[in-house]
A and B are shown apart, each in its own frame.
Chain A
Amino acid sequence: QQQVKQSPQSLIVQKGGISIINCAYENTAFDYFPWYQQFPGKGPALLIAIRPDVSEKKEGRFTISFNKSAKQFSLHIMDSQPGDSATYFCAASSREKLTFGTGTRLTIIP
């Protein structure tokens, strides 16, 4: 019940396209949902986060959509750029522990 399922495992998107990564959870006690971006050889960096009292949050080209009843949330990257190529982790937090999804390796091709 502590798992966060993330898909797809890898994703290739053309430059300028929309990248979509999906996550699903079971534990209804989760109440904070961050997304992290990780480049090779670097630590994860917080990209954007949402709490379950809102259905959408947008920061620049990055949008989180949250569906509380379906226990799903997704990351949309608009106008994807080669610099967005990285591994993305969704995560969910209940009290003091952060549970990560399995990660999506995103590649943006010219």
Chain B
Amino acid sequence: DAMVIQNPRYQVTQFGKPVTLSCSQTLNHNVMYWYQQKSSQAPKLLFHYYDKDFNNEADTPDNFQSRRPNTSFCFLDIRSPGLGDAAMYLCATSLQKINQPQHFGDGTRLSIL
């Protein structure tokens, strides 16, 4: 089945230690998104790629960066995680940018020690 796959499902890192989360898709979608979702809250968009064009949300901390080496893969890098960065990180894809359904992976739950 075509899908959005996130690895790992659970990630534990230490305060200040860089961490990378990964997302892959078999849908061949042009757009890939990264969201942060904290407990009992809605997903919050961090950034998205339309093909290779990177779009950062204005309020996304500089601590968060992303890479998309090819159509299928996208990475979220957190350079110096703080306690407030503990959350579920969701990857999503859509075929095009405008008014298209977004397909989500099951997320990576990040814990900070």
Chain A residues in the interface with B (C-beta under 8 A): 31-32, 34, 36, 41-46, 49, 51, 89, 93, 95-98, 100-103, 105
Contacts and interface: CB of A to CB of B under 8 A. Distances in A.
B104 interface: yes
B90 A43 contact: yes
B41 A102 contact: yes
B70 interface: no
A36 B43 CA distance: 11
Contacts of A105: 40
Interface string B16-51: 000000000000000100000000111101001010
B106 A98 contact: no
Contacts of B4: 43
Contacts of B109: 41
B38 to A, nearest CB: 11
A97 B45 contact: yes
Contacts of B41: 102-103
Interface string B73-113: 00000000000000000101000011101111111010000
Interface string B52-68: 00010000000000000
9 contacts: A43-B6, A95-B97, A95-B98, A96-B48, A96-B55, A96-B97, A100-B42, A100-B43, A102-B42
A99 to B, nearest CB: 9
B106 A41 contact: yes
Contacts of A46: 101-103
